[in-house]
């Protein structure tokens, strides 16, 4: 990407790198990435939005790439992640923005709509629909998966998962990117593995039917090299700390529910994204639960990495939603 990178202080000692494009004072869009990604995941959207007259802010969120890595699990709680976004808007002089988030960025987007509704001109979630958990998330996930390995349950363990992933970032990235992509979802091979003694990379390679050797056509070796360098620099611990706050986030935000999500909302995902395939009904529920929901777009044959796998399809759906906000 050719957009300049700004270094913005969002809290005491927390500096974030952010790609910023478009004219200051234009309507603002902020793009929030997921795991295991960075602002680089929006490389196909940043120039398109700027060319269309939007001011674009795409941060490497706290703990990612070369942004700050505050110590302690609680530093990655969702209220802090939301407030980082508001600080970025304040720094840029923007009263409101359309917040667009993918994966974990989508979760933060929903929480921003709950915590800072007055700053949201609209929100667009990619991959993760609005999800009102019936109990604490780790309780639900442990009940669903029992004694089988599941990466979010594995990420609750202290120290172990980051030690595994930090040992070979590229191998893990190849595995998870392949499995959750449209190409990987079409060729899933292995079944479940026991939670005890199973590592994350081992699990993803197992369900892929072996170690993926080829990259999907939408991800170049240069793209993979960017992510590999970023996670080699940051390590995976800070990003995994986001997962360790799922229950704390539930405690903070479940009392609010959808009561403040009254701004225009929209949803985009790949039709074979494993996130929505494992949450039947949640996509459709948004049409009923959210009073100004502008609709859902599911892109055929596309997996989890929706804005990278199908930039043209994603951008068309994104601009269609922006036109209503």
Cα separation, 164 vs 320, in Å, equals 42
Cα separation, 313 vs 302, in Å, equals 10
pLDDT digits (tens, 9 = 90+) for 209-234: 999 989 999 999 999 999 999 999 99
**pLDDT for the residue 298:** 98
pLDDT digits (tens, 9 = 90+) for 89-104: 999 999 999 999 999 9
Is 247 a known active-site residue?
no
201 pLDDT above the threshold of 60: yes
Contact in structure between 159 and 228 (CB atoms under 8 Å): no
Cα separation, 301 vs 228, in Å, equals 26
**pLDDT for the residue 248:** 98
pLDDT digits (tens, 9 = 90+) for 103-135: 999 999 999 999 999 999 999 999 999 999 999
4 pLDDT above the threshold of 80: no
Residue with structure tokens 């990619």?
Answer: 126
pTM for the full model? 0.98
> Strand runs (DSSP E) across the chain, as ranges?
5-11, 14-21, 28-32, 55-59, 97-102, 120-126, 265-270, 293-299
What sign does the CA torsion over 216, 37, 301, 189 have?
positive
pLDDT digits (tens, 9 = 90+) for 164-194: 999 999 999 999 999 999 999 999 888 899 9
3 pLDDT above the threshold of 70: no
Q: Nearest Cα to 224, choosing from 38, 5, 12? A: 38
Is 304 a known active-site residue?
yes
Q: List the domains of the chain with CATH numbers.
A: 5-132+254-322 (3.40.50.1820), 137-241 (no CATH)
Secondary structure of the chain: what % helix, strand, coil (to 5)?
45, 15, 40
**pLDDT for the residue 115:** 98
Q: Which of 17, 60, 103, 310 is catalytic?
A: 103
């Amino acid at each position: 990407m050719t957009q300049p990178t700004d270094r913005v202080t969002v809290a005491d000692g927390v500096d974030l790198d952010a790609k910023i494009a478009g004219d200051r004072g234009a309507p603002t869009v902020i793009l929030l990435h997921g795991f295991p990604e960075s602002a680089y995941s929006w490389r196909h959207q940043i120039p398109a939005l700027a060319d269309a007259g939007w001011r674009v802010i795409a941060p490497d969120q706290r703990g990612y790439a070369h942004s700050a890595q505050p110590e302690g699990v609680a530093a990655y709680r969702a209220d802090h992640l939301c407030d980082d976004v508001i600080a970025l808007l304040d720094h840029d002089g923007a009263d409101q923005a359309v917040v667009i988030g993918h994966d974990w960025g989508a979760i933060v987007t929903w929480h921003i709509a709950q915590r800072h509704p007055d700053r949201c001109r609209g929100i667009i979630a990619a991959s993760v629909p609005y999800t009102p958990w019936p109990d604490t998330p780790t309780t639900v996930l442990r009940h669903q998966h029992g004694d089988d390995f599941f990466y979010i349950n594995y990420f609750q363990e202290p120290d172990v998962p980051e030690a595994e992933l930090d040992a070979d970032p590229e191998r893990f990235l190849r595995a998870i990117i392949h499995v959750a992509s449209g190409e990987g979802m079409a060729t899933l091979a292995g079944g479940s593995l026991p939670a005890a003694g199973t590592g994350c990379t081992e699990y993803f390679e197992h369900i892929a039917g072996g170690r993926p050797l080829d990259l999907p056509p939408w991800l170049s070796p240069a793209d993979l090299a960017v992510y590999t360098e970023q996670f080699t620099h940051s390590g995976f611990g800070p990003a995994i700390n986001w997962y360790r706050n799922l229950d704390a986030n539930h405690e903070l935000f479940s009392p609010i529910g959808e009561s403040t999500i009254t701004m225009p909302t929209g949803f985009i995902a790949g039709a074979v994204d494993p996130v929505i395939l494992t949450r039947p009904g949640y996509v459709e529920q948004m049409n009923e639960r959210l009073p100004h929901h502008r609709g859902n777009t599911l892109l055929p044959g596309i997996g989890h990495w929706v804005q990278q796998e199908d930039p043209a399809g994603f951008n068309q759906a994104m601009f269609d939603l922006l036109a209503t906000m």
